[in-house]
Amino acid sequence: MGSRNLLVVDDEPTVRELLAATLRFAGFRVTAAATGAEAVRAAVDERPDLVLLDVMLPDVDGFEVLRRLREQRGGQVPVLFLTARDAPRDKVQGLTLGGDDYVTKPFDPEELIARIHAVLRRSGHAGTSGAMTVADLEVDPDSHQVLRGGEPIRLSPTEFRLLTYLVRNSGQVVSKRQILDEVWQYDFGGDPSIVDTYISYLRRKVDNAEPKLIHTVHGVGYVLRGPRS
């Protein structure tokens, strides 16, 4: 497999050039953009495997760029926010909009590269078990497709990983900590509320019809199961 192509979006030339040099040294191919508009165009033209996206841009903020990327790319491209804005509210907003990680400046290059590899592993994980079905919900890890009642549903990479994890463990209650460990693979500051937020997003997209499949087990976690006979 060839080197992965990353899109770096930052309006500060020094930071952008430093990031590009660091990532090229690590073996990645790099495309750079300085504005949100440039980022969206580059994402369409270059088809990056991952986007490193600054929040504070001169035209639109990174959260709006992420919304546009999700519309353009159908939720497929992983996004890692890289920003000086480290308030928990900003972090949660970035992740719940479909971002896959959130790294604050100043950053350690080795940690950043490790996080990039972790996101790429998660987004590239296809599994070998083929399509999985619970009631009228079908999840195919190989084609990254989700169907409910035969209708396709578009999910962000993190939403897809969460749903896949729940389906693979259908009928089994999983805790928020288990979900954090398996879906995110490391801790976002130890705050399990991100799991609740993503579950709510999944319910709106996947579980807005009968029978309801995603259930809360209060004080324990969540379980995805088909209707009881």
d(CA 139, CA 29): 31
Residue 165 maps to a domain: yes
Question: Which CATH number does the domain housing residue 22 bear?
Answer: 3.40.50.2300
What is the length of the chain? 229
Q: Given the structure tokens 């050039």, which residue do they identify?
A: 17
Instruction: Give the residue numbers spanning the domain of 51.
Output: 5-124
pLDDT at 143: 75
Express each pLDDT in 178-208 by its tens digit. Answer: 888 888 765 455 567 889 999 999 999 999 9
pTM of the model: 0.55
Residue 212 pLDDT: 94
How many domains does the structure of the chain reveal? 2
* Domain boundary, last residue among 124, 147, 173: 124
Render pLDDT for 205-226 as a digit per residue (tens, 0 to 9): 999 988 999 999 998 999 999 8
- pLDDT tens digit sequence for 135-157: 899 998 777 889 998 899 999 88
On whether both 98 and 141 belong to a single domain, the answer is: no
46's tokens: 């270059």
Please determine, for residue 85, whether its predicted confidence score (pLDDT) is greater than 50. Answer: yes
- Percent of the chain residues past pLDDT 70, beyond the cut: 84
The stretches of 97-146 forming alpha helices (DSSP H) are 109-124
